[in-house]
Amino acid sequence: MGKTDIVEEYVEQKTPRSKQWRNDMIKNLRPQDDEAAFASRELVRLTIDNYPPTSTDPQTGKKFSPVGGKISLVKLSGKGIHWIEPGACQK
């Protein structure tokens, strides 16, 4: 499910941009951030920002990226649901 190319590139750390993404992520992580939530949000953001335009609008013929929109981030635990970032979702 989903588009994994950008995340796979990030994990492999073989390209100059993936190494820069990692450096930027480390630099932007604040002490008060939940590391897993921060990394998840940033990987989604990287995918939105960098996935190539591979879909075509049938009416205009114009290419566009199939990923995008607001990012929703929720943490599930034994204590319940904790909304970190509701994005386009309703709490």
Whether the full predicted model's pTM is greater than 0.85, yes or no, is: no
Domain membership of residue 78 as a residue range: 5-54+61-85
Residue 12 counted as domain residue: yes
Round to whole Å and give the CA distance between 50 and 53: 9
pLDDT surpasses 60 at 43: yes
Q: Which amino acid is at 13?
A: Q
In a domain, 90, yes or no: no
Residue 4: CA count within 13 A, CB half-sphere: 4
Residue 1 pLDDT greater than 60, yes or no: no
Could you give the angle at the alpha carbon of 3 between the alpha carbons of 25 and 9, nearest 5°? 45
Assess contact for 69 and 88: CB atoms under 8 A: yes
**Does the residue 91 lie in any domain?**
no
| Digit-coded pLDDT (tens) for 56-82 | 999 999 999 888 888 999 999 999 998
Q: Provide the pLDDT for residue 3.
A: 84
Strand partners, 64: 55
Place of tokens 């100059």: 16
In this structure, what token pair is assigned to residue 48?
A: 């939105």
Split into its structural domains, the chain has a count of: 1
What is the pLDDT, as a whole number, of residue 91? 57
- Span 11-39, pLDDT tens digits: 999 999 999 999 999 999 999 999 999 99
